[in-house]
Amino acid sequence: MKYVKNLDTKNREILEEMMKSDPSFKVRRRAHAILLSAKHFKIDQLASIFEADRDTVSEWIRRWEEEGIEGLYDSARLIFRIYLLDNKKINYLYELFFLSKYQNFIFLFQKLENSLK
């Protein structure tokens, strides 16, 4: 059976935050699915909960295992979001990354977006 393995406290907290506040519905449900998988929910159960194909859920887990947080995002959307940065946002991103607790780029980018709305 396929489950998310070794979900540490830091990633669990990030996933919980993403599940509650990510602007993308897809990312929120993928984060939720990863959290449930770490609690040993079966792929068929997750597919039923999220009304998704079991192969889709399996792909979410695979991408999580291989790419971590970044794997929960659609790459085209992420690239588009990066191009929207202006100098003010770039400076803020630099400060957050080097002067704060945020180590994960995607989570950091979300904080940037939310703070500059």
- Inform me whether the pLDDT recorded for 92 exceeds 70: no
CB 32 within 8 A of CB 92: no
Give the pLDDT confidence score for residue 24 in this predicted structure: 86
Q: Supply the pTM of this predicted model.
A: 0.66
- Rounded Cα–Cα distance for residues 77 and 61 (Å): 20
| Nearest alpha carbon to residue 64 among 2, 115, 108 | 2
CB 107 within 8 A of CB 14: yes
- Rounded Cα–Cα distance for residues 24 and 21 (Å): 9
The domain ranges of the chain are 9-83
- Rounded Cα–Cα distance for residues 53 and 91 (Å): 41
How would residue 73 be classed by pLDDT, with cut points 50, 70 and 90? confident
- The two counts, helices (H) then strands (E), for the chain are 7, 0
Q: What is the mean pLDDT of residues 3-9?
A: 88
Portion of the chain with pLDDT greater than 70, in percent: 62
